Structure 1
């Protein structure tokens, strides 16, 4: 991580990787077992266009257990006033919640999404500069973000589960993310996949 790694060591800070993902009612493709010559089929409802959006952060610090924090938004079709994606204030609230639990300083690494770098987000980040330092990933570099491993693992689990409603999909998503929170070894694996040198506690 070069200069970023030095920055983390100097501040005795948590290194936090953030990213967002989403899932609709049509499940992602996944592999499974079946009898020879009998392709498995998963029936999907096809009704509605609800969506579950998730913002997640993989948080690492030498000598500490790797953590996963996340927030979910559930968008039901036809419901006015429901947010269908994360806004700047949502990201700030997620950062504040993680900071409250982790304590100390934070070095945040995320991509160049518009909502990560617009005027409102810059203002919100500046208000937290006493404990927060921000770096942005290069363009089109998902392989450098351990949070991408979280989404890949999640979608692999959801691949053969055809939820009938967006609320059922939200429940399945929440259950699997909570399981990941209790698997620091799995989260460490997502960090290792990026090529980042990492020594778990």
Structure 2
């Protein structure tokens, strides 16, 4: 998520293109999210996305969502790390992970979250 993201369009006089003035400064925030089969979103803001941050998010997810969790992930390196695999194993079957085929964003509903920057909510 970036502060210079173009989130929409505007109306202006025909032939007079509107100008939006900015400072040129850019800021960003990293987020981790999950979309369930009913379309509900669970997310968290994080600093650097590494295995430790991902595992912390998984712990929060396990706390917030009762029962077994079947998580379908893309090929991000933190999803496939030895640390992540060890954590998933430590949940003794409560959390199971599966991977999407490489280069398949159209199969990942979470990709649509980042195309729509408004209307975010937490589980």
Per the normalisation by structure 2, the TM-score is 0.84
Equivalence for 1:43: 21
Residue 36 of structure 1: SS of its match in structure 2?
coil
Unpaired runs of 5+ residues, structure 2, are none
Change (3 A) 1:67 1:96: farther
Equivalence for 1:128: 91
Equivalence for 1:171: none
Equivalence for 2:35: 58
Equivalent runs, 1:130-169 vs 2, <5 Å: 130-154=93-117, 157=118
Equivalence for 2:120: 177
Equivalent runs, 1:10-49 vs 2, <5 Å: 22-23=1-2, 25-28=3-6, 30-47=8-25, 49=26
Equivalence for 1:70: 43
- The structure with higher relative contact order (CA 8 Å, sep 6+) is 1
Partners of 1:106 and 1:51 lie apart in 2 by 29
Task: Indicate if the aligned counterparts of 2:54 and 2:78 stay in contact, CA closer than 8 A.
Answer: no
Structure 1 residue 120, shift from structure 2 partner: 1.4
2:77 counterpart of 1:114: yes
Structure 1 residue 110, shift from structure 2 partner: 0.9
Per the normalisation by structure 1, the TM-score is 0.54
Structure 1 residue 51, shift from structure 2 partner: 1.8
2:65 counterpart of 1:102: yes
In angstroms, what is the RMSD of aligned CA positions? 2.1
Change (3 A) 1:41 1:105: same
Residue 72 of structure 1: SS of its match in structure 2?
strand
Residue 134 of structure 1: SS of its match in structure 2?
strand
**1:149-177 Cα deviation digits (max 9, x unpaired):** 111111xx5xxxxxxxxxxxxxxxxxx42
Unpaired runs of 5+ residues, structure 1, are 1-21, 74-82, 158-175, 183-201
Aligned residues: 123
Structure 1 residue 29, shift from structure 2 partner: 6.1
